[in-house]
């Protein structure tokens, strides 16, 4: 049997807090706030044994409730200790709960900024857009996106991007007193809530350039974001506001293999048949996973496909790589 070229771990929505278990907002699922650290520890142990090359943490690593308890720093320390037990780099995506706990400047200066450093500082596409690309192996380019680049929670009140985000919510959500409440409508319109966000034109342009370069150099690309972009791969309430702009970039490049996101704790899988049938994976969230189970995966990468090996409530998936030419 062929050996994988390399392998990496993925985990989403740990949302750790040192508080008692409770129901989610809509009272449909239980959240295991302390147990989530234990499940992260299980994942770390597993990845250590498997000797993965790196891990991608898909956002919401600590819960927003740490903020009002004054526990943001200690909760972050607790989860980073678990990640430190993995002898491999960890790439951190930022979700809405990162912004409930910290502002953008604090996050940029924190250990949750995993962008590689270059001679002039960091490889971020812009000093305050948390998106970057890295090459895990020759022929592969992995891209992390900032889904709160355009958002109310991820941008300072006085900034132009915050104001634009507010206008987007006012135009699309009639709940002016509470934009966390989804608009009463069917389908995709429900995504215009304050706990979501979107991607600026600069970021989408940068993504386009990354994929164009990857096409030219015959690399394969995997894209990560906290917010999903393909309807069907997640509940409509969980999609990025301008998910369609990202989709149209992804669909126009043959280098694109797979999109991985978190945010929707129920998880989801969908094959984008409008592209060249690439997979969109929304990973099941640790926070709503019972303590006796697990929610993480290891992805083994081969020349022509990737094998996602799920643990606990994450099911296995074979992801095929579209032909390069």
Using the rule CB under 6 A, which residue among 4, 89, 139, 182 binds ligand ADP? 182
Among the listed ranges 20-28, 85-93, 104-112, 243-251, the one in contact with ligand ADP (CB under 6 A) is 20-28
Cα distance from N-terminal residue to C-terminal residue, the chain: 26
Phi, psi of 180 (to 5 degrees): -75, -15
Only one of the segments 21-29, 36-44, 114-122, 309-317 lies at the binding site for ligand ADP (rule: CB under 6 A); that segment is 21-29
User: Is 195 a residue that touches ligand ADP (CB under 6 A)?
Assistant: yes
Q: How many alpha carbons lie under 13 Å from residue 184 in its C-beta half-sphere?
A: 3
**CA 214 to CA 247: how far, in whole Å?**
17
The answer to whether residues 142 and 224 touch, using CB atoms and an 8 Å cutoff, is: yes
Place of tokens 């929670």: 153
The rounded distance, in Å, linking the Cα atoms of 44 and 50 is 10
Tell whether residue 25 is a contact of ligand ADP (CB under 6 A): yes
Alpha helices in the chain (DSSP H): 35-50, 65-68, 72-84, 96-101, 104-108, 160-172, 201-216, 243-251
Nearer residue to ligand ADP within complex by CB, 22 or 324 = 22
Stretch that binds ligand ADP, among 18-26, 73-81, 216-224, 305-313 (CB under 6 A): 18-26
Nearer to ligand ADP, 214 or 287 (CB): 287
Binding segment toward ligand ADP, per CB under 6 A, in 22-30, 141-149, 269-277, 302-310: 22-30
Q: Say how far apart CA 193 and CA 176 lie, in whole Å.
A: 11
CB nearer ligand ADP, residue 94 or residue 256:
94
- 288 binding ligand ADP? (CB under 6 A): no
Residues 41-80 that bind ligand ADP (CB under 6 A): 60, 64
**Site for ligand ADP (CB under 6 A): which residue of 24, 74, 103, 159?**
24
**What is the H or E stretch that residue 306 is in?**
strand 305-312
Q: Which residues pair with 301 in a beta bridge?
A: 6, 306
3-state secondary structure (DSSP) of residue 45: helix
Beta bridge partners of 271: 279
Show the site string, 245-284: x = touches ligand ADP by CB under 6 A, - = not. ------------------x---------------------
Residue of 7, 72, 96, 200 interacting with ligand ADP (CB under 6 A): 96
> With respect to ligand ADP, which residue has the nearer C-beta, 180 or 320?
180
- Asked whether 260 and 56 are in contact (CB, 8 A), the reply is yes
Nearer to ligand ADP, 13 or 149 (CB): 13
33, 46 Cβ separation under 8 angstroms? no
Looking at beta carbons only, is 54 or 100 nearer to ligand ADP? 100
Query: Residue of minimal CB distance from ligand ADP?
Result: 180
Smaller CB distance to ligand ADP: residue 155 or 254?
A: 155
Q: Which residues bind ligand ADP (CB under 6 A)?
A: 24-26, 60, 64, 96-97, 178, 180-182, 195, 263
């Amino acid at each position: 049997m062929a050996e994988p070229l390399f392998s990496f771990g993925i985990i989403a929505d740990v949302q750790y807090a040192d508080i008692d278990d409770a129901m989610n907002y809509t009272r449909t699922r239980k959240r295991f706030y302390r147990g989530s650290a234990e499940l992260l520890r299980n994942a770390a142990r597993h990845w250590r044994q498997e000797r993965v090359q790196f891990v991608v943490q898909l956002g919401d690593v600590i819960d927003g409730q740490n903020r009002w308890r004054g526990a943001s720093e200690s909760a972050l320390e607790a989860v980073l200790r678990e990640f430190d037990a993995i002898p491999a780099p960890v790439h951190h995506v930022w979700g809405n709960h990162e912004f409930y706990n910290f502002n953008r400047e604090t996050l940029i200066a924190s250990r949750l900024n995993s962008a590689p450093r270059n001679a002039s500082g960091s490889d971020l596409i812009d000093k305050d857009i948390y998106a970057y690309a890295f090459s895990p192996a020759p022929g592969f380019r992995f891209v992390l996106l900032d889904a709160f680049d355009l958002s109310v929670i991820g941008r300072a009140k006085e900034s132009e991007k915050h104001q634009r985000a507010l206008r987007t919510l006012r135009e699309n959500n009639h709940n002016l007193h509470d934009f966390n409440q989804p608009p009463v409508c069917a389908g995709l319109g429900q995504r215009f809530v304050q706990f979501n966000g979107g991607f600026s034109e600069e970021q989408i342009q940068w993504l386009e350039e990354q994929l164009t370069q990857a096409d030219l150099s015959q690399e394969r690309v995997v894209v990560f974001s906290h917010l999903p972009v393909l309807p069907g791969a997640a509940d409509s309430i969980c999609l990025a506001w301008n998910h369609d702009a990202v989709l149209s970039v992804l669909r126009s490049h043959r280098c694109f293999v797979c999109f991985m996101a978190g945010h929707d704790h129920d998880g989801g899988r969908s094959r984008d048949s409008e592209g060249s049938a690439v997979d969109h994976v929304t990973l099941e969230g640790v926070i709503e996973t019972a303590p006796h189970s697990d929610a993480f995966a290891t992805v083994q990468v081969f020349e022509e496909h990737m094998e996602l090996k799920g643990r606990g409530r994450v099911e296995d998936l074979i992801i095929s790589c579209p032909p390069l030419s």
